[in-house]
Structure formats: C-alpha cells, structure tokens
Amino acid sequence: MKDGTTSTDPSKILHGGGLYPLGGDEICGGYKGYGMGSLVEIFCGILAGAHWGPNIRKWMSAKEDADLGQCFIAVDPEAFAPGFSDRMQDFMDTMRNLPPVDPEKKVLVPGDKERVHQKVVEQCGGIPYHPNQITNAELLAKTYNVAPMKVIKVYQ
C-alpha cells in the first residue's frame, strides 16, 4: 500500500500503491499469468510426456501415480546480448538498494540468504544437522544395512 504496509484487500492494493498483477491490470491486457501457466503445462506436462492440467490426479489420491513432469532448460545469456554479467550485477545492486518496507531489514535478491547460509556451513566445516536428524539417519542406516553417514563434529 502507499505507506508500505501489507494488505489482502485487492481494492487497496490496485488503487493505492501496490504492484499490479503480472502484465498489468485486465483493461491493459494483463493476461501474462495465463500464458506463463500454459508454458509450464506445455514444458512440464506435454513436452515431458507427463500428466498435465485436468489429467493430473487429485492431490490426496493414491489410486494412480502422480506422473508429474519436470523440464530443465539451459540458456546462454550471452547469446542474446553481450555484457549479461555486468548488466545482471547492476540489476541486483539496484534491487538491493531499494528502500526496504522494514527499515530493520535489507532488501534481498534470490541467492542472498543461501550465500549467508553457505558461509555458516563453511565456518562449521560442513552441514550442521539437528541431533534428531543424525539419530534418524543412523536408524535408517541400520534398518537398510548401509554405512551410516560420517559425523565430523558434534555441536553442543
């Protein structure tokens, strides 16, 4: 909203300072959600040879396999325009420097939280697991007669 607070009232969002739906409002042809949803169905369902749309089973049904598809696409950004890395860095820096809704928190971009966590993991010398996770992993190893994972360090 205008003052940066959250709301679930669409009339306050669309007529008071919130982001418009993807593609803009309906009168300006804001149907990009429909097109993007269709692309997901085409790539992950039809192209992948999996179920799509109305053919996907109900969530809690166990009568048939879910048969949910996935699609992974590799793109070389330099094939579109030169200087992608620098332009992307400029974009990320611009996003991070936006004024935050909560002055006590920084604006983050995808990957920021993961980079912070990666530093913690590196400082710990590995992935810190909760003791219950280690206990359960050891029980599974015994149950299936496989070597248990190696615990490098125990934190108290």
- For the residues of 15-44, what is the DSSP string, one character each? TTTPPPPTT--GGGT--HHHHHHHHHHIII
Binned at pLDDT 50, 70 and 90, residue 5 comes out as confident
Binned at pLDDT 50, 70 and 90, residue 108 comes out as very high
Q: Report how far Cα 152 is from the mean position of its chain's Cα atoms.
A: 30
CB 22 within 8 Å of CB 36: yes
Binned at pLDDT 50, 70 and 90, residue 124 comes out as confident
pLDDT digit string, tens, across residues 31-90: 667 788 899 999 999 999 999 999 998 888 888 888 999 999 999 999 999 999 999 999
